[in-house]
Amino acid sequence: MVCLTGAGMSAESGIPTFRGEDGIWKNHQPEELATPGAFVRDPNLVWEFYNWRREKIAKSSPNKGHKALAEMEKLYKEFYIITQNVDGLHQKAGSKNVIELHGDIWYVRCTEHCTKETSLFSLYDVPLKELPPHCPNCGALLRPHVIWFGETLPEAPLEAALELSANNDFFIVVGTSAMVQPAASLPRYALRAKVHTIEINPEPTPITDIVNEYVPANAGEALPLLLKEMKTYL
Ligand code: BJW
């Protein structure tokens, strides 16, 4: 069983989505904040955005949906989460098999790759002590260890996600607008491989008409119900 998650998964934990009603992109252009060009132009603005997000995430906890997925992992021999989220809430809920496609907001890396050993490291300060933060080793700018528009996704997680999407019995898609590539194509790979695909999202998306089942509900409502159903069949 494979579950692909997006920002809506963490909405009930109080973390704003990107494109929803109160989505982040309502007030900011993606090009201003989540591209390598934006970072070169104004690292301070980009880091203010990430500092704000880190504060929100630090105050948040996994919701009923995250917890239900963590329980599902215990029921099945093979259960994987592919997430576009960078908040770490799946792991905080207890999920172990998590593939992060867009990085991890709690990691930073040196923009000069100063030395291999120290160029990528966790930084949990909330708020950050220095804005923008600099590499403790060489003094160059640090950047968040996330994937921005125009950047390629890390090879290993992407390959694992492609492989898993086409080789499973159930593919559950939760809380993603299915607009950002390449993650948006994963449900299509699953469908092409004749995998039974279920979408959970209060709003329809570009994949709603092609999935096998559409559940118009919040993650925190639908996933605990799905878990309950699963337990009755095991
Ligand atoms: C609920 C809910 C509740 C609410 N319960 N649900 C092919 C064609 C066209 C363009 C491209 C293409 N291939 C690549 C591109 C370019 C680009 C792209 O896709 N652009 C599109 C906008 C068209 N992709 C890329 O650049 C990617 N790189 C790449 O492909 O490299 C190769 C390449 C490069 C250039 C050209 C061609 C090839 C990289 C994408 C990186 C995305 N990065 C971000 C920021 C990450 C760091 C951070 O978090 O700050 O990732 S952008 C942002 O969008 C973030 C998200 O992970 C991602 C997806 O958003 P998501 O998760 O779907 O959230 P929302 O807000 O959109 O939707 C929330 C949903 O939840 C809604 O549907 C709600 O209804 C629902 N919801 N409450 C359940 N309670």
- Ligand 1: distance of its center to the CA of 115 in Å? 31
The pLDDT assigned to 109 comes to: 95
- Regarding beta strands 2-5 and 80-83, do their DSSP bridges make them parallel or antiparallel, or are they unpaired? parallel
How far is residue 206's CA from residue 78's CA, in Å, rounded to a whole number? 28
Strands (E), 87-155: 98-100, 103-110, 120-122, 142-146
pLDDT per position as a tens digit, 123-171:
999 999 999 999 999 999 999 999 999 999 999 999 999 999 999 999 9
Q: Nearest to residue 149, comparing CAs of 54, 58, 25?
A: 25
What is the average pLDDT score of the chain?
A: 95
pTM: 0.96
pLDDT at 215 over 80: yes
Q: 224: burial class by Cβ within 10 Å (0-12, 13-18, 19+)?
A: middle
How far is residue 9's CA from residue 213's CA, in Å, rounded to a whole number? 18
The pLDDT assigned to 21 comes to: 73
Domains belonging to the chain, first-starting first, are 2-233 (3.40.50.1220)
Phi/psi region, residue 52 (left: phi>0; alpha: psi -120 to 50; beta: rest), is alpha
Q: Nearest to residue 193, comparing CAs of 172, 170, 166, 173?
A: 166
pLDDT per position as a tens digit, 20-50:
777 777 777 777 789 999 999 999 999 999 9
Q: Cis ω on the peptide bond leading into residue 132 (within 30° of 0)?
A: yes
Which residue's CA is minimally distant from atom 24 of ligand 1?
181
* Alpha carbon 228 to its chain's center: 25
The pLDDT assigned to 133 comes to: 97
6 and 206 in contact (C-beta within 8 Å)?
no
Helix ranges (H only) for the chain are: 30-33, 36-41, 43-58, 64-75, 89-93, 155-166, 186-192, 219-233
Query: Would you say the CB of residue 51 lies under 6 angstroms from ligand 1?
Result: no
Query: Would you say the CB of residue 6 lies under 6 angstroms from ligand 1?
Result: yes
Atom of ligand 1 nearest to the CA of 176: 63
